[in-house]
Amino acid sequence: EAGVTQFPSHSVIEKGQTVTLRCDPISGHDNLYWYRRVMGKEIKFLLHFVKESKQDESGMPNNRFLAERTGGTYSTLKVQPAELEDSGVYFCASSQVTPWTSGSLKETQYFGPGTRLLVL
């Protein structure tokens, strides 16, 4: 079974440009999450999709970030315009069920390899 995949693996852009990151979750996983780790800091939650709906976007830093999951399959995260402080590693994760579904390990979040973004 294929894991979570992310594209691109690396991206180097200039301040003010636009970058779009893509995440393909594990097939059949309704839940998709975006996290990021900026240099020297903790991995921080950005947002959570259940199918195509945004369940929780409380971690999105500002309106320069736009996440979509049309059709409830893959998701994109667009940063426009990019700023220097956006540099970091962006992780995507997926899980089969939402964490409040009891009695199974299906709430485990499986992470992709991340996209390393560098804004110059």
Partner 1 sequence: SQQGEEDPQALSIQEGENATMNCSYKTSINNLQWYRQNSGRGLVHLILIRSNEREKHSGRLRVTLDTSKKSSSLLITASRAADTASYFCATLNSGYSTLTFGKGTMLLVSP
Residue 28 Cβ vs partner 1, minimum distance, rounded to whole Å: 17
Residue 65 Cβ vs partner 1, minimum distance, rounded to whole Å: 16
Q: Does 108 bind partner 1 (CB under 8 A)?
A: yes
Q: How many residues bind partner 1 (CB under 8 A)?
A: 28
Q: Which position among 12, 43, 84, 120 is part of the footprint of partner 1 (CB under 8 A)?
A: 43
- E strands present in the chain: 5-7, 10-13, 19-24, 31-37, 43-50, 53-56, 65-68, 75-79, 88-95, 110-111, 115-119
Q: Does 96 bind partner 1 (CB under 8 A)?
A: no
The DSSP H or E segment spanning 106 is: none
